[in-house]
């Protein structure tokens, strides 16, 4: 345990996290754990901007190509991945670089999650049916746990589902259940956090260039293949880059508008990521990509 070292590298999409993480992993003999809600899926390659095997340059990655697009996952998937990669690092004398734009998962690693109550097949089918009208579920849960649900927007289907699962499994209000089963931090070793920051206008330009590159590399063909194999039902098919391409395929956008819409929505995502990082993480070393390269390399 004394020899185990780790750090986290965060920042908005298109900020250069992946390339810096790979350079750092090579220098420190580390594995990489990717915290990315799209790169975790197999076959979602171009739109997720996951590093290719060549770009990975021999560095072992966890959290990439872990699931098929129609397989369910939640934050507990990343918790299990972290525990697996930490065990591997300990056994093999490796360090760990945690990197990704989905910082919510890093927050959950730091804070932990409450144990999930067990659900029967019948319970899961009931939850699936009720969540088709999640606004009605939200209203029902508001009556059961008004203070708890006051902090959950009607559109937050992830947390609404979790609250419903608790209620169905235990017949107990979610806030009472979580009070009895408080979360325990998963990350117990020191974790320095580094954040790449960019001027917003320059970042928007980087996002647009990356969007154009994605289209040139075959984004449209990738989405056609995904839709043919998995339909539009999986949650990942609603991700930025995928939903706009589906609208292009429906004839709603032309190619110029496709690029424009993906770039705009990705820019908005980057802004949300920056806001989340600023509000959720303390004692973070911030700097430009070049500055953090100088510090870390």
pLDDT value at residue 74: 82
- CATH label, 121-180, candidates 1.20.58, 1.10.1740, 3.10.450, 1.10.20: 1.10.20
Whole-prediction pTM value?
Answer: 0.86
34: left (phi over 0), alpha (psi -120 to 50) or beta: beta
Instruction: Give residue for tokens 């984004």.
Output: 219
Q: Give the span between the Cα atoms of 219 and 2, in whole angstroms.
A: 45
**Residue 292 burial (CB count, 10 A):** 23
Q: Give the span between the Cα atoms of 50 and 34, in whole angstroms.
A: 9
Query: Which fold does the domain 6-113+184-197+278-296 belong to in CATH?
Result: Rossmann fold (3.40.50)
Instruction: Give residue for tokens 């235990």.
Output: 170
pLDDT value at residue 1: 44
- CA–centroid distance for 115 within its chain: 20
DSSP-assigned letter for residue 2:
T
pLDDT value at residue 116: 82
Strands 61-62 and 30-34: parallel
Domain ranges within the chain, ordered by starting residue: 6-113+184-197+278-296, 121-180, 200-273
Q: Give the span between the Cα atoms of 147 and 149, in whole angstroms.
A: 6
pLDDT value at residue 2: 52
Q: What is the dihedral of CA 57, 58, 59, 60, to 10 degrees?
A: 140
3-state secondary structure 34-61: ECCCCCCECCCCCCCCCCCHHHHCCCCE
pLDDT value at residue 159: 87
CATH number listed for the domain at residues 200-273? 1.10.287.890
Q: Give the span between the Cα atoms of 210 and 204, in whole angstroms.
A: 10
Tell me if 6-113+184-197+278-296 shares its fold with 121-180. no
Q: What is the pLDDT along the chain (297 residues), one digit of tens a residue?
A: 457 899 999 999 999 999 999 999 999 999 999 999 999 999 999 999 999 999 999 999 999 999 999 998 888 899 999 999 999 999 999 999 999 999 999 999 999 888 888 999 999 999 999 999 999 999 999 999 999 999 999 988 888 999 999 999 999 999 999 999 999 899 888 999 999 999 999 999 999 999 999 999 999 999 999 999 999 999 999 999 999 999 999 999 999 999 999 999 999 999 999 999 999 999 999 999 999 999 999
């Amino acid at each position: 345990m004394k020899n185990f070292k780790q750090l986290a590298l965060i920042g908005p999409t298109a900020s250069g996290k992946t390339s810096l993480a790979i350079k750092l992993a090579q220098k420190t003999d580390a594995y990489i754990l990717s915290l990315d809600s799209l790169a975790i899926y197999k076959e979602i390659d171009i739109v997720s901007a996951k590093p290719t095997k060549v770009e990975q340059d021999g560095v072992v990655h966890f959290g990439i190509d872990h699931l098929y697009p129609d397989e369910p996952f939640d934050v507990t998937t990343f918790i299990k991945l972290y525990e697996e990669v930490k065990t591997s690092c300990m056994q093999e004398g490796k360090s760990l670089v945690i990197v990704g734009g989905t910082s919510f998962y890093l927050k959950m690693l730091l804070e932990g999650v409450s144990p999930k109550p067990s659900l029967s097949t019948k319970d899961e089918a009931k939850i699936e049916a009720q969540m088709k009208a999640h606004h009605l579920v939200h209203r029902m849960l508001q009556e059961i746990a008004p203070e708890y649900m006051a902090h959950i927007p009607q559109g937050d289907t992830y947390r609404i589902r979790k609250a419903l699962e608790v209620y169905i499994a235990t017949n107990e209000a979610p806030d009472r259940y979580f009070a009895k089963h408080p979360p325990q931090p998963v990350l117990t070793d020191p974790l320095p956090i580094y954040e790449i920051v960019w001027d917003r206008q320059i970042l928007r330009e980087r996002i647009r260039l990356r969007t154009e590159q994605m289209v040139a590399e075959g984004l449209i063909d990738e989405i056609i293949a995904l839709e043919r194999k998995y339909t539009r039902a999986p949650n990942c098919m609603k991700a930025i880059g995928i939903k706009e391409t589906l609208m292009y395929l429906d004839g709603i956008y032309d190619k110029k508008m496709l690029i424009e819409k993906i770039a705009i929505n990705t820019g908005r995502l980057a802004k949300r990521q920056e806001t989340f990082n600023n509000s959720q993480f303390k004692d973070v070393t911030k700097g430009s990509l070049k500055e953090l390269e100088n510090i870390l390399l």
